[in-house]
Amino acid sequence: MRVEIVAIGTELLLGQIADTNAQWLGEQLAANGIASHFHQHVGDNHERIIAALRVAMSRSDAIITCGGLGPTQDDITRAALADLMGVELVEQPELVSVIREMFTGRGREMPENNLLQAQVPVGAAVIPQNRGTAPGLICPVGQHTFYAVPGVPYEMQEMFERAILPDLLAKAQANGERAVIKSRVLRTWGAAESRLAEVLAERFVDLENNPRITLAFLASGIEGIKIRITARGTDEANAAALIAEEESRVREIVESTCGDVFFGVDDETMEYAIAKLLIERGETLAVAESLTGGLIASRLVNVSGASNWFRGGVVSYASEVKFDVLNVPVGPVVSGDAAEAMAKGVRELLKSDIAISITGVAGPEEQDGQPVGTVFVGIAIGVSLTHVQLRVPGDRQRVRNYAAIGALNALRQHFGG
């Protein structure tokens, strides 16, 4: 059972909206063990919709179309499906009453345009609407099934869960195809994607013909490299066990060569890792930032409950602010000593248990004889001071983003977490 998603709407082609429907449906299908190998976007054009649907039929068993079921002139999915089925569109009196009642219920008169939404291709089944006015359709075409749902995510999702997913699962079950698919994402920071690939190359080869476990890398820009483990299990427990086994294998392989690079799983961010460590230790944090200009602090406050452990920070962008407010000795400000003095200064000023600081060169020019991308992170744990030096790549904006997550990672590694 292979399902293709065809999102219909010129606004998608013009980039006026992102196709979050395909994303949501893709996630649901994968979670339910249903294969989906292709997605398409096509505009509100009769011939091109039919062309896209024919392509989908040539390579998939079932097709979910999103959009084009509204009440306006450019909502033409119904007509395209009728053409593909080789049948007429017929107005269904029961649908007319339902739609009319929706308007009456809101104290409004139904515009005549909405009658379009009561038209159904002969032989199609209706998916009643629970949230809007456009009904969905289930249209058989030979061995293929088309499911047409509205493009409004809130309406689409409800119809998918209520009517489409059960139908797909029943079909897959009848074919004896169904597995339970689970995945888990391991998040790393500090190792290049190519380095991780090299380290895991042998494991990738071992898994090549294994239908149960798949590994993949997801590059997430400044948020590090993610390693995704996907398992096809016979049931929930089996899939979970496969994941757990593969996870410990991957961690062992990577940690033995790349060191402490795993900072979280799935949706856990670097700041979440820091929050966990601080809560465990029962300590508070303050930050002093130069080149990152507040980015580290703004990441930390994203963690819910940050007020329990985050005191605040000083953005010491001008050198005099470092000297006057943080008591950094007058001199070069891009150095390990300056970073340590900043951490000490902000810890004392904001009365926290722990402090980190960051100073460095975002570019475009070098500073204090240091090249662009040089970053010093100061760490104050009580009165004890230390610093770490980082080298980060990219232009001004990226140097800054990498430096911010890199500094948090330095604190995490310092704690051994």
223 or 255, CB closer to a copy of itself?
Answer: 223
Sign of CA pseudo-dihedral 43, 45, 49, 52? negative
Residues within window 41-60 making contact with a copy of itself, judged by CB under 8 A = 41-45, 48, 51-52, 55, 59
CB of 174 to a copy of itself, least distance (A): 24
Amino acid at 98: V
- Per-residue contact string for residues 133-162; x = within reach of a copy of itself by CB under 8 A: x-----------------xxxx--------
- Among the listed residues 243, 273, 300, 343, the single contact to a copy of itself using CB under 8 A: 300
38 binds a copy of itself (CB under 8 A): yes
- Among the listed residues 97, 104, 194, 210, the single contact to a copy of itself using CB under 8 A: 194
294 binds a copy of itself (CB under 8 A): yes
96 binds a copy of itself (CB under 8 A): no
209 binds a copy of itself (CB under 8 A): no
Question: Can you tell me the distance from the alpha carbon of 62 to that of 28, in angstroms, rounded to the nearest whole number?
Answer: 15
CB of 284 to a copy of itself, least distance (A): 8
245 or 324, CB closer to a copy of itself?
Answer: 324
- Among the listed residues 50, 325, 413, 415, the single contact to a copy of itself using CB under 8 A: 325
Measured CA to CA in angstroms, residue 263 lies from 308, 397, 417 at distances of 21, 23, 8
Residue 272's region, left for phi above 0, alpha for psi from -120 to 50, else beta, is alpha
- The angle that helices 396-415 and 270-281 make with each other, rounded to 10 degrees, is 30
Give the position of tokens 């409800």: 158
107 binds a copy of itself (CB under 8 A): yes
Give the position of tokens 């007020």: 307
Number of residues near a copy of itself (by CB under 8 A): 115
Question: Can you tell me the distance from the alpha carbon of 364 to that of 19, in angstroms, rounded to the nearest whole number?
Answer: 36
Residues counted in the chain: 417
Listed ranges 164-172, 237-245, 297-305, 379-387: which one lies at the site for a copy of itself (CB under 8 A): 297-305
316 binds a copy of itself (CB under 8 A): yes
87 or 255, CB closer to a copy of itself?
Answer: 255
**Contact call for residues 39 and 7 (beta carbons, < 8 A):** yes
289 binds a copy of itself (CB under 8 A): yes
32 binds a copy of itself (CB under 8 A): no
CA neighbor of 275 nearest in space, from 295, 303, 299: 303
298 binds a copy of itself (CB under 8 A): yes
87 or 115, CB closer to a copy of itself?
Answer: 115
32 or 87, CB closer to a copy of itself?
Answer: 32
74 binds a copy of itself (CB under 8 A): yes
52 or 273, CB closer to a copy of itself?
Answer: 52
332 binds a copy of itself (CB under 8 A): no
Cis peptide bond N-terminal to 364, omega within 30: yes
347 binds a copy of itself (CB under 8 A): no
CB of 355 to a copy of itself, least distance (A): 13
CA neighbor of 137 nearest in space, from 220, 96, 79, 182: 79
297 binds a copy of itself (CB under 8 A): yes
What Rg, from alpha-carbon coordinates, does the chain have?
A: 28
CB of 256 to a copy of itself, least distance (A): 16
7 or 87, CB closer to a copy of itself?
Answer: 7
Q: For residue 115, what are the contacts with CB-CB under 8 A and spacing of at least 6?
A: 91, 96, 99
CA 319, 322, 327 angle in degrees (round to 5)? 140
CA neighbor of 137 nearest in space, from 150, 126, 121, 145: 126
Residues within window 354-413 making contact with a copy of itself, judged by CB under 8 A = 362, 364, 373, 391, 393-398, 400
- Among the listed residues 37, 143, 267, 383, the single contact to a copy of itself using CB under 8 A: 37
Q: For residue 416, what are the contacts with CB-CB under 8 A and spacing of at least 6?
A: 260
Q: Would you call 119 helix, strand, or coil by DSSP?
A: strand
365 or 416, CB closer to a copy of itself?
Answer: 365
Measured CA to CA in angstroms, residue 195 lies from 184, 200, 230, 247 at distances of 21, 9, 21, 18
312 or 417, CB closer to a copy of itself?
Answer: 312
**Contact call for residues 121 and 139 (beta carbons, < 8 A):** yes
350 binds a copy of itself (CB under 8 A): yes
